[in-house]
Structure 1
């Protein structure tokens, strides 16, 4: 239960002003059965204890009856200590200081905005088992064909024709050491790295490409600014069966659905609102364009084709996704 106590302390430390100054010092009279303790003229209710216990999550839910009783008592003692400090803060008028008033208002705004978005998220339908099963079937690399990957990589700045030359070396079966020596001979700066990653730790856009490789094979990725040479040194099959995966998938899809709903709601609210940036945050007016010469022919920027736009949008650099190491490749 040590982790539960640490988490409880963090909750009580993070929200002492919001809970204490807005709740504990009020003179509201609660039914005697709902009062857990009295601290001077203030009361601590069972509801306050239950609220903080609910914030502990699975740690509190998994407690035995004896542990739960001890944990409830710990929460009460922390609330008593908190109330004593709150009483002193109010007596010394600390609650009226500008810094504390700003902190209280910030806590209030945070609680209200979070509560509203949680309401938006909770209004979304739950992910059904059928939806979870479909996701399981559509992503074999994450589940039925899940693997652990041992990867080596080299990262370097992009240059004309360089990616094609590196791709030729990968296709010819050159080792990463051979490629590193070739880059040194060309006086091209690069970085080396290696990492062991489970399928779920690989960025989703990269996973299908990595999953398609056999041990010893490699690939070259280019995003216009950087090149990553990657070789799959070895891999190990560790599938996840459907029964084990379904609860995790439902939670993942539920979180994803809720996040998307919250983002849509915020966007709609911004679109409807009148938002003006002032002072240092006011947008800087663009300088006026010089008048065109009557003899000058109008110029038109080249149009971006949908294919090119799609390519630019989907380009991915996995370099940041893997830890840096194996400096000996340099």
Structure 2
């Protein structure tokens, strides 16, 4: 890909050194190899499976179309349209904010071997005792009055047929589907409740005025050892710490800033936060 990008630059006006290498000229404007590379970095799927090596050329054609349209927009004075100006400023603000947050995140420390061990050992359902679950998911109506009895009835059933009979006796007609999910694809709170269940057993999860009932049809053992899990655990902990670092930095910025909520937004200002101005 690097060689291809260099070729794109050399064929359209020669090298101008480093990131300024020209890939194409569009009227009086230039498109650089760096711009092509930036698109490829942001959209790695364009490169994956690119057996013919045409990803860079296709990206360049897209940039040419984009530049032509942008030039036409400026010729029509659309760059002075207040709505366009607002969108440009919003994009600029978003890019700057994201860049600052990324710079903060890079300071987060990597997980140690001991921390990875503790994470692995604390979540056997994800690793040492990992399973592939085949679940029957049934949705039924359940208000606060009937929920306790229904929960008890569901917990006593030992097969999908017994569950169906219990729901029928309760006058409920469930909407049912069967899904296959690996442990890591199940929300942790639900996984911790599913993991101890033997095939045939069910659990009920309240959800507003309804309830979702999960019946374990199969639980196929598929453990992941510490060595296999190390990379994913390290990446997860790193992302978690980056998020915490950004959140803490944003909290500090807010604490130092003068923020005044005005007009109709004053009523929804955070309690104990910045002052509200009417």
Q: 2:40 aligns with which of 36, 46, 53?
A: 53
Q: 1:196 aligns with which of 172, 180, 192?
A: 180
Q: 1:41 aligns with which of 28, 33, 56?
A: 28
Residue 142 of structure 1: SS of its match in structure 2? coil
1:54-203 aligned within 5 A: 54-57=41-44, 60=47, 67=53, 70-152=54-136, 153-160=138-145, 162-164=147-149, 166-168=151-153, 170-171=155-156, 173=158, 175-184=162-171, 192-203=176-187
8 Å CA contact 1:167, 1:219 repeated in 2: no
Residue 140 of structure 1: SS of its match in structure 2? coil
CA distance in 1 between counterparts of 2:61 and 2:213 reads 58
Over 3 Å counting, the alpha-carbon distance change for 1:179 and 1:208 in structure 2 is: same
Shift of 1:236: 1.3
- Structure number with the bigger relative contact order (C-alpha 8 A, sep ≥ 6) is 1
Residue 206 of structure 1: SS of its match in structure 2? helix
Gapped regions of structure 1 (runs ≥ 5): 2-29, 286-330
- Equivalent pairs counted in the alignment come to 251
CA deviations 1:121-150 (Å, max 9, x no partner) are 111112344433332222111122111222
Gapped regions of structure 2 (runs ≥ 5): 2-13, 270-278
Over 3 Å counting, the alpha-carbon distance change for 1:48 and 1:219 in structure 2 is: closer
8 Å CA contact 2:108, 2:242 repeated in 1: yes
CA distance in 2 between counterparts of 1:59 and 1:271 reads 42
Shift of 1:75: 3.0
8 Å CA contact 2:131, 2:182 repeated in 1: yes
Counterpart of 1:242? 226
Shift of 1:193: 4.7
TM-score in terms of structure 2 length: 0.76
Shift of 1:284: 7.4
TM-score in terms of structure 1 length: 0.65
Over 3 Å counting, the alpha-carbon distance change for 1:277 and 1:173 in structure 2 is: same
1:21-36 aligned within 5 A: 32-33=16-17, 34-36=20-22
CA distance in 1 between counterparts of 2:198 and 2:125 reads 13
Aligned residues: CA RMSD: 3.2
Greater strand proportion: 2
Residue 124 of structure 1: SS of its match in structure 2? coil
Shift of 1:191: 5.1
Residue 123 of structure 1: SS of its match in structure 2? coil
CA deviations 1:56-103 (Å, max 9, x no partner) are 336538867x72xx4333333332332222222222211111121111
